[in-house]
Chains A and B, each alone.
Chain A
Amino acid sequence: MNIRSHTRGGRSAARLAFVLVAAFGAFAPGRAAVSVGEAQVGGFFSQGYLTTSNDVNYPAETSGGTADFREAAINATLPIGSKLRIGAQVFEYRLGDYGDDRIVLDWASVDYNVAPEFGLRAGRVKKPRGLYNEALDLDLVRPFVFLPMGVYDPRLRDFNASFDGAMIYGSLEAGQAGSFDYKAFYGTTDISTKEGSGVADYLRNAGIFEPTEADLDATYGAWAFWNTPVAGLRVGLSYSVLDSVISSGPFVPMPVLEGSIELPAYKNMIFSVEYLKDDWTFAAEYGRDWGDARIQVPGIGLDNLGDTESVTWYFSAARRLNQRFEIGAYYSHFSAETAPAGEPDSQGDFAASLRFDINEHVLVKVEGHYIDGQAHVFDTPSAPNPNRAADESFTLFAAKMTLSF
């Protein structure tokens, strides 16, 4: 997080998941889920490898190469009658220090679909944000190892994935004009400061205080997409607010003092376009995060009002070549509009990916990135980058294998 001041101021879990996925997979001929009576069960497990050049650690501690890159999930959904459905998914991941292989309840919801025009989902619900946030963890649906990280930051996965509350949703037919899909939600979400918390590292990266407490009052937002009359083309806008975010902890220069940051309303907006044409998928998104920020260290009389803002965009193309191969590429750009003087303020990322489906349950991906700039690179114990100010270019290589059923 870059603040512009007015003064310029469980590995065992993964193994268990692997065994379960492999066991279920053996009985599941390629589909989106398997049936167990009326219920449907699905899941995946992935293991990857990351390495970066030039001693840069991004998105985690990667410069010497790391296999601390994996995800696993198991979900079950049960219909009750024709319109009611309950379901849940447990999830764990590790990206360097982030995630820490901790098993979390990723989503657990009750869904009542009154009609195509109106439905209600409540519980722990996946957060609608842009084209892909709800399906952020689903390697199965894209050729990329990493979605463009400015919009879909894998370090913030623990925070951005879902919320506790309720969402209404629906689809409105508009005749010759196509149709409109909408979602609107209200709830809250936990901001963890435990070891492995990506959002804590995001706060830590500001270098002001060591976050030991963090909370927010609410999160709310809306998501609307227009399925245009042009076949395969949809455009949409999503907007969300984190209301009254506050975090505190020891002030870094003088840890005996307490420092804090307060964001009355931290906002995110994403404009999205996606076009499916035969075996091609084209996508582009423009996103902006912004909000006022108040930093206080009462012990030294510091009370700064400022703001924070970042802008990111990308365009991507992917093509399914045949049943085995899919390729993809994107260019994404991130700019920290409020980066302090001397800090990197932009980052461009060109990525190219190859996906190979060994069979219906096992796929392998390789991906190369050429990254110019380090505005999206942290300098924290989980991603040490003491030379970040040099702002040089570097490469990131990622390989990943995913089993799914």
Chain B
Amino acid sequence: MKTTLLRWGLLSLLAFAPLAALRAEPVIIVHKGLEGQALDPATVKSVLLGKKVAWDNGSRVTIAALKSGPVADGALKAAVDQTASQFLNHWRRLAMTGGGLAPKSFESEAEVLKFVAETPGAIGFVDSTTADASVVVVKAGG
């Protein structure tokens, strides 16, 4: 009886393991040209808040932001401790007062992924299930 229960337990674990691996979570993505750059949480936060405007390889930072939704909220909460609305206000304050270039704003994760993949120096955030090999994936919040 004990052996049967153990077998069932192992089978259950094996059956659910792939689902766990696919569990959705927001991730930071960057252009492939930034592979090897320092992408620690402090750097990502500095970039997303407009304090660091150029990468160490000299390319200009371009932020691709999802307008709203749980992925935007989750990624921004983890990376900069702000809601999507607070993040938008932060950038409105900067962009409207000479303090920076506002993020490019997108409706869908697919658009963010495409933009980041095609734009040198770009950084954005999508769900882990959306990210693919066209970009470098960094866990939001480290």
- Contacts from A to B (Cβ < 8 Å): 29-33, 35, 40, 42, 44, 73, 75, 77, 79, 81-83, 85, 87, 89, 107, 109, 111, 113, 115-116, 121, 125-126, 134-135, 137-138, 140-142, 171, 173, 231-232, 276, 278-279, 281, 320, 323
Determine the residue in chain B with the shortest Cβ distance to A44.
B96
Q: Taking A279-B83, A320-B85 as contacts, is the C-beta distance between A171 and B51 under 8 angstroms? A: yes
Contact B93 A138, beta carbon cutoff 8 Å: yes
Is residue B34 contacting chain A, with contact meaning CB distance below 8 A?
no
CA of A232 to CA of B80, assembled, Å:
9
Binds A, one of B4-12, B14-22, B103-111: B103-111
CA of A83 to CA of B58, assembled, Å:
9
**How many cross-chain pairs have Cβ atoms below 8 Å apart between A and B?**
111
Is residue B81 contacting chain A, with contact meaning CB distance below 8 A?
yes
- Contacts from B to A (Cβ < 8 Å): 42, 46, 51-55, 58-61, 67-68, 81-83, 85-86, 88-89, 91-105, 107, 121
The 6 closest A-B pairs by CB, nearest first: A32-B102, A31-B105, A82-B60, A82-B54, A141-B89, A135-B93
Which of B51, B59, B100 is the one whose CB lies under 8 Å from A116?
B51
CA of A82 to CA of B33, assembled, Å:
15
- Central interface residue in A33, A81, A231, A279, by most chain B CB within 10 Å: A33
Determine the residue in chain A with the shortest Cβ distance to B65.
A31
Residues of B contacting A231 with CB < 8 Å?
81
Contacts A82-B61, A83-B54 supplied; 11 other A-B pairs, CB < 8 Å: A29-B67, A29-B105, A29-B107, A35-B104, A82-B60, A116-B52, A126-B98, A134-B97, A138-B97, A140-B92, A276-B81
Residues of A contacting B46 with CB < 8 Å?
116, 171, 173
CA of A126 to CA of B95, assembled, Å:
12
Residues of B contacting A116 with CB < 8 Å?
46, 51-52
Residues of A contacting B107 with CB < 8 Å?
29
CB distance from B99 to the nearest CB of A (A): 7
Contact B92 A107, beta carbon cutoff 8 Å: no
Contact A135 B86, beta carbon cutoff 8 Å: no
Residues of B contacting A77 with CB < 8 Å?
95, 98, 100-101
CB distance from B89 to the nearest CB of A (A): 4
CB distance from A348 to the nearest CB of B (A): 28
